Amino acid sequence: MSGTMDMTASNSSEIRLDGRRVLVTGAARGLGESFARALVDAGARVVLSDVLHEQGRQVAQQLGDAAHYVPMDLLDPAAIEAGVAEAAEWLGGLDGLINNAAITNSGGKTMDQLAVDMFDRVMDVNVRGTWLVTNAARRHLAASGSGRVVNLASDTALWGAPRLMAYVASKGAVIAMTRSMARELGADGITVNAIAPGLTLVEATEYVPEERHAYYLQGRAIQRPQVPEDLHAAALFLLTRSAGFVTGQLLPVNGGFVMN
C-alpha cells in the first residue's frame, strides 16, 4: 500500500454525555470495560455489571466516584432483575443501556461439532440475556424521557463466519431483536439500536487463529487492526439525547470489512 496508514482509533472525545446514567453489561474487561471508561471520560455516570466480580470491582474503583459495580449473571433472570434495580437505584435512574455481555464458546467448531447444551448456553446468554436486561431496564429508561439502548451485535452475522455458528446465530438474533424492540419501546420514547463490530483486539478474541485475523485485515477498506476505541464514537452517539430519532438501526463498525 502507498501512503501512510492511520493507526489511530476513532476519537470520541467530542461527544459529551454529562449527567447521563448508563448501565454496561459485561464490563469487567474487553469491550465492556472500554465502553465504561469512555463513558466516564465523556461525563456519564456508569454502572458496570459482569460475572467477573473481582475484575469488575477493580475497574469501577479505578474509575472513581462516577462508577459502581453490580454483579449480574445473564443466565439468571432473578439476578438480572436485582442487578438492574441496584444499578438504577445507585444512579438515581437510567438513561442508557449497553447490552455488551456475551459469550462465544463455539469458536473453531464446525456445526456438526457443536454440543446442544453449548449452543443453548450461547443463545441463553447472548439473546435471552439481552432481552431480559432490556425488559428489566425498560421502566427506568422510560422514566428518563430519553432512554437509549445499544445492543452489541457482530459483523460475523452479516458475512456468515464459518466455524462459529452458535455465536453467529445469536448475534443474528440480536440484530432482529433490536428492530422488534425498537418498535415496542418507541412508545416509551426509548430508542434501540445495534452496532456490529468486526474482529476486535480484546481478551475475548485471543483464541482466534492468525489466519482469521489476516482475513479481516486484508478485507477491510481501512487496513489496520480494529481496537476497542474504534467503537466508542458510535456507541456514545447512540446514547446521546440528540440521537432520539435514530432507532431500529444496525451500524457496522468494522473498517469497511462488511458494507451495507
Q: What is the structure's pLDDT at 90? A: 98
**For residue 152, which of 119, 180, 175 has the smallest C-alpha distance?**
175
Q: What is the structure's pLDDT at 10? A: 53
**For residue 142, which of 187, 199, 198 has the smallest C-alpha distance?**
187
216 is catalytic: no
Rounded to the nearest 5 percent, the helix, strand and coil shares of the chain are 50, 15, 35
Catalytic pick among 167, 207, 215, 216: 167
Query: What is the chain's pLDDT, residue by residue, as a tens digit (260 residues)?
Result: 333 344 455 555 689 999 999 999 999 999 999 999 999 999 999 999 999 999 999 999 999 999 999 999 999 999 999 999 999 999 999 999 999 999 999 888 999 999 999 999 999 999 999 999 999 999 999 999 999 999 999 999 999 999 999 999 999 999 999 999 999 999 999 999 999 999 888 877 777 778 888 888 898 999 999 999 999 999 999 999 999 999 999 999 999 999 97
Domain boundaries, the chain: 21-253
Half-sphere exposure of 245 (CA within 13 A, CB side): 0
Please state the pTM of the whole predicted model. 0.93
Query: Which CATH number applies to 21-253: 3.40.1160.10, 3.40.50.2000, 3.40.50.720, 3.40.630.30?
Result: 3.40.50.720
Q: What is the structure's pLDDT at 13? A: 67
Burial (CB count <10 Å: 0-12, 13-18, 19+), residue 2: exposed
